[in-house]
């Protein structure tokens, strides 16, 4: 009898817990807000300046990419000089090497197709030291790629990297023949599809800081880990790494963005927080704009 009563109480307790669970759909899932997202840096040297504009989408939306098209994008200096960027593809705006005067400050001006204007704060040009080397460490589960750099003048202190990967791999099966719908013929050398190439760009935020060190030296800062079973290292692999010098404010923005996008989901992770960049809507400063414009 005692066993039966304990079992009945336990069963009723489980029913009570299950019956108390209710689905919760936060307002953000169905929000109609579409905020501007600005990605890129002002390159003061001979390389291109590329800015990507897009709009946020709802979590429940079937569309993952929402480019901001037909905008007017210019780089402006505090000496009232202007450098236009041209839309090269949907939402991507670029200009060839601007070769800017690094003693001046610069900002980004954006006017959307519906005549809404956005301005970033004026920022000084940071001189990025060269990358010393890119290498790898063989681990039990794959390869750890890293980057080394240093600033002999101890002026940089804050760094960010992104990269483009390219690798060669083989198809699952080797095809020696091809059909034109009527007959089967041997493939020519230009029709062979067993050996393939593909590329990908970085999606994670890679940062480094020497602010707490005596010397401005970055040693083996992790870039990416490639699993030992990945097709990336099946035959040949290449990585092109870009390095950017950041200000303290820009570094804090990227740390916050990394925390909000890559380090959430567990019960012990940090709570989401607001991401404040240096880009503002001219006629509505309270509207969020996601992004931080640096010049380097």
Q: In this predicted structure, which of 162-176, 234-248, 268-282 has the lowest mean pLDDT?
A: 268-282
Band (pLDDT 50/70/90 cuts) for residue 19 is low
| Phi, psi for 81 (deg, rounded to 5) | -90, 150
Mean pLDDT within 64-90: 96
Tokens of 21: 């669970």
CB distance 54 to 67 below 8 Å? yes
pLDDT value at residue 3: 46
User: In this predicted model, what pLDDT tens digit does every residue of 1-14 receive, in sequence order?
Assistant: 544 455 555 555 55
Count other Cβ atoms within 10 Å, centred on residue 164: 13
pTM for this model (two decimals): 0.84
What whole-number distance in Å separates Cα of residue 263 and Cα of residue 25?
22
Q: Which helix (H) or strand (E) holds 37?
A: strand 36-40
Q: Tell whether the model's pLDDT for residue 128 goes beyond 70.
A: yes
Mean pLDDT within 34-54: 96
Q: Which helix (H) or strand (E) holds 165?
A: strand 158-170
Q: Tell whether the model's pLDDT for residue 179 goes beyond 60.
A: yes
CB distance 85 to 51 below 8 Å? yes
User: In this predicted model, what pLDDT tens digit does every residue of 275-294 receive, in sequence order?
Assistant: 789 999 999 989 999 999 99
Average pLDDT of the residues of the chain: 90
CB distance 157 to 209 below 8 Å? yes
Q: Tell whether the model's pLDDT for residue 98 goes beyond 90.
A: yes
pLDDT value at residue 12: 58
Mean pLDDT within 179-191: 91
């Amino acid at each position: 009898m005692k066993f039966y009563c304990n079992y009945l109480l336990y069963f009723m307790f489980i029913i009570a817990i299950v019956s108390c669970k209710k689905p919760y759909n936060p307002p953000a899932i169905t929000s109609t807000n579409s905020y501007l997202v600005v990605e890129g840096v002002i390159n003061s040297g001979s390389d291109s300046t590329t800015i990507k504009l897009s709009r946020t989408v709802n979590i429940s939306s079937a569309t993952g990419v929402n480019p901001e098209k037909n905008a007017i994008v210019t780089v402006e200096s505090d000496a009232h000089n202007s450098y236009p960027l041209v839309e090269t593809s949907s939402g991507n705006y670029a200009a060839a090497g601007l070769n800017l005067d690094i003693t001046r400050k610069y900002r980004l001006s954006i006017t959307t197709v519906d005549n809404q204007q956005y301005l970033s704060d004026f920022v000084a040009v940071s001189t990025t030291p060269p990358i010393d080397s890119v290498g790898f460490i063989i681990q039990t589960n794959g390869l750890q790629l890293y980057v080394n750099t240093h600033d002999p003048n101890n002026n940089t202190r804050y760094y960010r990297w992104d990269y483009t990967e390219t690798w060669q791999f083989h198809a699952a099966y080797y095809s020696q023949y091809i059909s034109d719908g009527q007959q089967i013929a041997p493939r020519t050398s230009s029709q062979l599809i067993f050996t393939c190439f593909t590329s990908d760009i970085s999606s994670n935020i890679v940062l480094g800081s020497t602010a707490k060190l005596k010397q401005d030296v970055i040693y083996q800062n992790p870039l990416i880990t490639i699993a030992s079973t990945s097709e990336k290292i099946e035959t040949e692999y290449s990585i092109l790494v870009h390095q950017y010098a950041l200000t303290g404010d820009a570094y804090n923005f990227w740390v916050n963005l990394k925390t909000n996008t890559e380090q959430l989901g567990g019960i012990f992770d940090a709570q989401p927080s607001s991401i404040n960049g240096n880009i503002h809507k001219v006629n509505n400063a309270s509207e969020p704009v996601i992004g931080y414009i640096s010049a380097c």
